[in-house]
Structure 1
Amino acid sequence: MTVSSKQLHRSQRRDALIYWIYIPSAVVLGGKTVDRLLDLPSIPSFGGLPVIPAAILIGIGVVFIQRATFDLKHYGGGTPNPQAPPERLVTEGSFSLCRHPMFLGYDLTALGTVLLLRSWGMLIIAYPIFIALEIRFLQNREEPVLARRFGAAYSDYRKRIPFLLPNPFKRRKPS
């Protein structure tokens, strides 16, 4: 099925709203609601210290997202959008570190935001729920689609490359 440029842009705008507005808003509002309901204090700032790790996490997260998007186009001939997916299985670049580097980027960005906003409710309730739902989505929706599309190649890739968290101590065999 060929997708028009207009349909693709509409789908990309929808995805941007979901990943950059709706989901982060749910994490922030959910966490802040927990803070208020349980009368939780803010995470201590230790002289402004959370700003530095928060900025680092957000920066690394954005780099992962941008790199994964580039890798999907450069190595796979497609986009992260299901309307125009990669034509080939991408195992190079950021996809040689983990099977879902874009989601890792979102996770790091969200964790940086949690630290920046200094919310216990976000850190101990909303963020873990977000991660659990994401893992469920990836395991039950994303990975089965990839397994059907790419068959044995995806099965081999799954055996070699970690799910979401890169293992810096594991040597990877070239594909």
Structure 2
Amino acid sequence: MGWKEMLREIEIPPLWLAIFALAGWGVGRVLPVALPFGRELGLGLVAIGLALMGAAALQMVLRHTTFIPRRDPQALVTSGAFALSRNPIYLGDAFVLAGLLLIWQAALGLWLVPAFMVFITRRYIRAEEAMIGAHFGPAYAAYRARTRRWL
């Protein structure tokens, strides 16, 4: 495996979540802005995000399909967490990021959440949607018509 392939394997969404979170942590350290009940709300958002990610990953494992980006899907999962969003793991990532920013008093960094969502859409979601569409055709088109990409 060449270095490009190795980089492709480690360049995964959790890495980008960590990078965006680190940027937010830095904002909170340099320009702290605490919101009323920010810590409590932040903890709640992190918990919701982790629960959503866990539920979606479990659903995919139970359907014997991958949750690793750039891998061929074996099944189209449309129920449970996937009835809420076509990308519940990425949505969970966004909740976790927002929660961490609130916990770290980085309210001025909340712009990182939509920036993360745009980045993930361009870097991963569009290609994943094309791959899923190629594998599952009309079934995916129907699912896509009734379920939003994010929320």
Same fold (TM over 0.5): yes
Structure 2 equivalent of residue 4 of structure 1: none
Normalised by the size of structure 1, how large is the TM-score? 0.70
> Counterpart of 1:44 in structure 2: which amino acid?
A
> Counterpart of 1:108 in structure 2: which amino acid?
F
Instruction: State how many pairs are aligned.
Output: 143
> Counterpart of 2:55 in structure 1: which amino acid?
R
Structure 2 equivalent of residue 89 of structure 1: 76
Normalised by the size of structure 2, how large is the TM-score? 0.80
Q: Give the 3 Å change call, closer, same or farther, for CA 97–134 of structure 1 in structure 2.
A: same
- The Cα of 1:95 is off from its aligned counterpart by 0.8
| 3-state secondary structure, aligned to 1:78 | coil
Structure 2 equivalent of residue 30 of structure 1: 23
Q: In the aligned structure 2, how far is the partner of 1:82 from the partner of 1:29?
A: 22
Contact 2:32–2:105 (CA<8 Å) still a contact in 1? yes
- The Cα of 1:138 is off from its aligned counterpart by 4.6
- The Cα of 1:77 is off from its aligned counterpart by 1.4
Q: In the aligned structure 1, how far is the partner of 2:102 from the partner of 2:145?
A: 34
- The Cα of 1:52 is off from its aligned counterpart by 0.6
| Mapping for residues 11-30 of structure 1, pairs under 5 Å | 14=10, 18-20=12-14, 22-30=15-23
- The Cα of 1:33 is off from its aligned counterpart by 5.5
Quick one: percent identity of the two aligned structures? 27
- Name the structure, 1 or 2, with higher relative contact order (CA <8 Å, separation 6+): 2
**Higher Rg:** 1
Q: In the aligned structure 2, how far is the partner of 1:24 from the partner of 1:82?
A: 14
Q: In the aligned structure 1, how far is the partner of 2:27 from the partner of 2:32?
A: 12
Whether 1:136 aligns to 2:151 is: no
Q: Give the 3 Å change call, closer, same or farther, for CA 148–55 of structure 1 in structure 2.
A: same
Q: In the aligned structure 1, how far is the partner of 2:17 from the partner of 2:114?
A: 13
CA RMSD between the two structures: 2.5
Structure 2 equivalent of residue 43 of structure 1: 33
Contact 1:28–1:122 (CA<8 Å) still a contact in 2? no
Q: Give the 3 Å change call, closer, same or farther, for CA 100–28 of structure 1 in structure 2.
A: closer
Contact 1:57–1:112 (CA<8 Å) still a contact in 2? yes
Structure 2 equivalent of residue 113 of structure 1: 100
